[in-house]
Amino acid sequence: MQVVEANGARIPAIGLGTMTLKGDTCVEIVSAALGLGYRHLDTAQMYGNEAEVGQGLKASGIPRADVFLTTKVWHSNLAPADVERTFDESLRKLDLPFVDLLLIHWPNAAVPLADTVGALCRVAADGRARHVGVANFTAAMVEEAVRLATVPLVTNQIEVHPYIDQRRLIETCRRHGLSVTAYCPLARGGVPSDPVLQRIGAAHRKTASQVALRWLVQQGLVAIPRTGNVARLPENLAVFDFTLTDEEMGEIAALRRPDGRLVSPPHAPRWDT
């Protein structure tokens, strides 16, 4: 598995997103993915499936040390005492002594960022999280978080796919040594039917989805596609045996559009333009 290195972390370039996966389905998908070669799992307090992700990890038989596991603190739990309390709850649900990466899931303007980053750094210092980072942070928020942090931040998990322009934010992250983890990398079902991606895929005997994922990892980004279909797992992982040409990379980048953002809940920050 190709990895992305960022401020001391080695993050597998393709991970399994688990948002919306519940119950036995979540356990089955996680276990099957690890059996197929996935080594990166992404969950969150808000997903309500940390226990099932932990069960799937154990059911797979893959050694814990071989799996990079991420969870996230929900935006209503960002006061320092709440970070500590709810993260301990996450560890209990996962039935693990530590996670590889703990993220602030969404910023919360009502809680001083210095307080939240301080709590995040403390759980890194005591070993409960091997690495820490952020999600859904704008360029200015990344700059502030890096300034406040006493341990290196290793990623900003954001929406990235061919239809959204995140160039400025990606460059900001790279300038500070952060990786970028792309959620919704298949644009919530928009990618598979895209004629440009289908045409490029046909030239490589790949699907449109594989082309979109390859476009991300070829830029040095991490991608965490979600699927509830075991049959899709091998497809999403099989993106390391071909290379897109510079022309193809440019064609895909040209698909970006002003209305390309898919995720913008009421608690979202004011996005970069």
Tens of pLDDT, residues 71-95:
999 999 999 999 999 999 999 999 9
**pLDDT class for 1, splitting at 50, 70, 90?**
confident
Q: Which residues contact 3 (CB under 8 A, 6 or more apart)?
A: 10, 11, 12, 13
Q: How far apart are CA 46 and CA 106, in angstroms?
A: 11
**CB of 212 closer than 8 Å to CB of 191:** yes
Catalytic site residue from 38, 47, 163, 183: 47
Q: Which long-range contacts link 118-125 to residues 24+ away (Cβ below 8 Å)?
A: 118/80, 118/148, 118/150, 119/80, 119/83, 119/84, 120/73, 120/83, 120/149, 121/149, 121/150, 121/151, 122/84, 123/83, 123/84, 123/87, 124/151, 125/150, 125/151
Q: Which residues contact 160 (CB under 8 A, 6 or more apart)?
A: 166, 170, 180, 182, 183, 184, 185, 216, 221, 223
CATH superfamily of 3-253: NADP-dependent oxidoreductase domain (3.20.20.100)
pLDDT of 258 above 90: yes
- The more confident residue out of 13 and 1 is 13
Residue 183 appears among annotated catalytic residues: no
Show me where the domains of the chain are located.
3-253
Q: How many CB atoms lie within 10 A of CB 33?
A: 26
Q: How far is CA 94 from CA 8, 50, 151, 267, in A?
A: 24, 5, 24, 27
Q: What is the mean pLDDT of residues 268-272?
A: 95
Q: State pLDDT tens for residues 19-48.
A: 999 999 999 999 999 999 999 999 999 999
